Chains A and B, each alone.
Chain A
Amino acid sequence: MKKRVLLLFSILPLIIGYLFASFHAVLVTNTAPAFNLQNIAPGDMVTISNGGDIYQLTTTNSKQIIHGQNLIEPVMAGGNIIAVAKTINYASLLLYDQSGNKIKTLFNGNTGTVDTMHWVTDPAVNPAQDRIAYVSDKDRQQTNVPDNALYVLNLSDGTSTNIANPDPYSGGIAHPVFNPVNGNVLLYDYYQYDSKTLAPYSTIEEYSKDTGFTTTLTFENKNAYQESFSPDGKTLLFLGRNSDMNTVTLYRADFTDTGLMNVQTLASGDFAFPVFSNMKNRIYFLQSEENKGYNLMEATMQKGKLNNIGPVISGYQLAGNSSFMVTKMK
């Protein structure tokens, strides 16, 4: 009996060693994103979602603000965080304080039955931080509805106004952005099919609250989407889908009263969500160079080219639905 106990006692470390090694191997392959904070421009705060968690990064500090809430698409609103909580069948818009405590639900997508649940996505906050633009199939109908319609939620009275609808069934609006110096200007992506070839394409539209009119800023062949303003509202970054269907071109253009001028090609590849730093000549974007996830990159724009490209988050561990925004540190 004593020998058996002794034998068992001797084998135990062997098993523990094996388990430790395999556990170590699992840990190595599932490391958290690696941050290179030195690549963040001074004064910038990057708020990013990855794997449902929200992180905030500055040039000196990184912290996980919210964990385990399955959140995507975070935007900052006066120090608070607005994010989308997405489940299999619906999504809701939630408001958190800067410590990650939930303040309230701004839009509840869960109606309790799968037939009437709905999505909310792509929140954007106006400069006065009293209105939120978002995309939703808010009509709660299963068929024959303007899915992915554009709304603006007034935070003071809680009412939503419908701004734009796509063609029925086509599911075609995404990514609203307010002009940071003129909250009456709202851009969004409009997805359509060519009436002759049935090929899908997208354009960037400009809605003016002053006039109530919408203007198309880009041509069909540009397949433009995911635009963002510079802090002064005078320059636009956007993506255009290439004809190979699976790469994109990154553009910059002057945003003027008469449309986009001086459009420049910055780069081509696998990019997503280009946004400006608070330093106007620096930008951030997601980039993938292999068939993996995405890195968060930072680069300097000089004479229509990207220079000094460096990763803020490396290791291709950001999922495609990781999105982020850059705000100025206070």
Chain B
Amino acid sequence: MQENPVKKTQKPFVIRVLICFVFAVVFFCIGFTVYFLGALEQFITSAMNQHITLKTLVSTSQLPNQTNVLLLGSDNDQKFTGNPLTQTMMVVHIDYAKKEVDMFSIPRDLWVKMPDQQIYGKIDQAAEYEGIPSAIKVVEQTFGIPIDHYAWVGLYGFIKSIDTIGGINLQVVHPVLDNAYPTDINSSNPYGYQRLDIQPGMQHMTGEEALQYVRSRHEDLIGDFGRTERQRQLLLALKQTLLSSPNLLTDAPRLFDNLKGQIKTDVTLTDSAQLGFFFLTNKNSLIEKQFTLSPPTYSQVGTSSDGQSIVIANATESAKLVETLFGTKAAQTTLTNLSNEQDIQQ
């Protein structure tokens, strides 16, 4: 005789659906909460870190009297191998006592003696020898300016820096029309080019747009000098942005972390916090001046014997300018020698 299997008592269908629904809602809520708790925890941790870090850094440090920081920018795009040229060279002189900040832009085509070499070349080529140390050396040797710190940024680092602070508001002071802007960023054809049209007026730019604005130099009546002017303008806008958004300054550790590998510098986190604190506390009384070796007073455009378009410093006036800014006298000898160099046609 076959035994009847024990029949399990099943709950009604409606109850089973209801239980499933309740479970679904509970799990949905858990998932939703997990996401937002994660975001909340991140926010609280970040806020606490910012506060503690900045307070600790600033209160435990002493400011020097003066600092010279060499800012370097390179086209480290897909085309380059080895040490890239320093397309942008700018010495920022900070006088903490006088509460003064001077920005001294060096034309990349300035014809100078290469460090540890017996040859002349454009100043931006110095970095090709030994990288950043050579770039520092050529500035110290040519102008007699002691460089205390340096900060180097490549194209990708520049884009990321601007994007990290949420883009930047910039006044386009002159229309930028470039029919041969290189397509060397994340491109399948790094040797190609595109056309660029940046209209004048106030704009909010992404990192890539800001790079286009400060990098383009074709079809600019004043070529590299126009570009230098735009680069200085961006630095001023960047400073203004940081000062008007104190959260960005207190957020320095996170920004530094974000830019790890994109910027090379010997400026420590402590140094940068000091700088930030100095600018923040003196933002209304700070004296700011900008200088460049612009023609015709400080330089003139010429041609090297191998046909390169170069900038030749006017030794006397340039030396005076450097001496006024940095108090160094070594410059005149170097610059005088430079303008006497027979390898150039003025």
Q: Which residues of A contact B (CB under 8 A)?
A: 9-22, 25, 86, 88-91, 114, 117, 119, 121-122, 137, 142-143, 147-148, 167-175, 189, 191, 193, 196-200, 202, 223, 225-226, 239, 241, 244-248, 270-273, 286, 288, 290-294, 319-321
Contact = CB atoms under 8 A, between A and B. Distances in A.
B115 interface: no
Contact of A13 (B24, B173, B199, B219): B24
14 contacts: A17-B31, A18-B31, A18-B35, A121-B197, A148-B177, A169-B220, A191-B174, A226-B201, A246-B240, A247-B171, A291-B204, A292-B166, A319-B203, A321-B199
B167 A198 contact: no
A17 B35 CA distance: 9
B263 interface: no
Given A119-B195, A225-B201, A293-B204, A198 B294 contact: yes
Given A20-B31, A198-B295, A320-B170, 18 more contacts: A9-B20, A13-B25, A13-B31, A17-B27, A17-B29, A22-B35, A90-B195, A171-B219, A198-B225, A200-B229, A226-B201, A241-B173, A245-B173, A246-B240, A270-B169, A271-B202, A291-B244, A292-B204
Query: 4 shortest A-B CB distances, which residue pairs?
Result: A320-B203, A17-B31, A17-B28, A18-B31
Contacts of A12: 24
Contacts of B57: none
B193 A114 contact: yes
B201 A14 contact: no
A272 B201 contact: yes
B165 interface: yes
A14 B33 CA distance: 10
B27 A13 contact: yes
Given A169-B219, A200-B226, A288-B202, A246 B32 contact: no
Looking at B23, B28, B165, B236, the one whose CB has the most chain A CB atoms below 10 A away is B28
Main secondary structure of the interface of A (DSSP, over half): mixed
A169 B221 contact: yes
Interface in B1-50: 20, 23-25, 27-32, 34-36, 39
Interface of B: 20, 23-25, 27-32, 34-36, 39, 165-171, 173-177, 179-180, 193-195, 197, 199-205, 219-222, 225-226, 229, 233, 236-237, 240-241, 244-245, 294-296
Contacts of B241: 291
Contact of B220 (A21, A25, A171, A293): A171
Contacts of A294: 202, 204
A18 B233 CA distance: 44
Given A174-B175, A200-B226, A288 B204 contact: yes
Contacts of B28: 13-14, 16-17, 20
Nearest to B166: A291
A17 B197 CA distance: 45
A207 to B, nearest CB: 18
B236 A320 contact: no
A20 B32 contact: yes
B34 to A, nearest CB: 6
B27 A11 contact: yes
A290 B179 contact: no
Contacts, number: 178
B27 A10 contact: yes
Given A271-B202, A288-B202, A193 B197 contact: no
A245 B171 contact: yes
B236 A244 contact: yes
Nearest to A17: B31
Contacts of A91: 197
Given A91-B197, A171-B219, A15 B174 contact: no
Contacts of A89: 194-195
B167 A172 contact: no
A191 B175 contact: yes
Contact of A167 (B166, B221, B233): B221
A119 B177 contact: yes
A273 B170 contact: no
Given A169-B219, A171-B219, A288-B204, A148 B229 contact: no
Looking at A122, A174, A223, the one whose CB has the most chain B CB atoms below 10 A away is A174
Looking at B31, B197, B220, B237, the one whose CB has the most chain A CB atoms below 10 A away is B197
B205 A320 contact: yes
Contacts of B29: 17
Contacts of A148: 175, 177
Contact of B175 (A167, A171, A196): A171
Contact of B222 (A11, A117, A193, A292): A193
Looking at B25, B174, B205, the one whose CB has the most chain A CB atoms below 10 A away is B174
A22 B33 CA distance: 11
Nearest to B28: A17
Contacts of A191: 174-175, 200
Nearest to A137: B177
A293 B168 CA distance: 9
Given A246-B233, A246-B237, A319-B204, A198 B171 contact: no
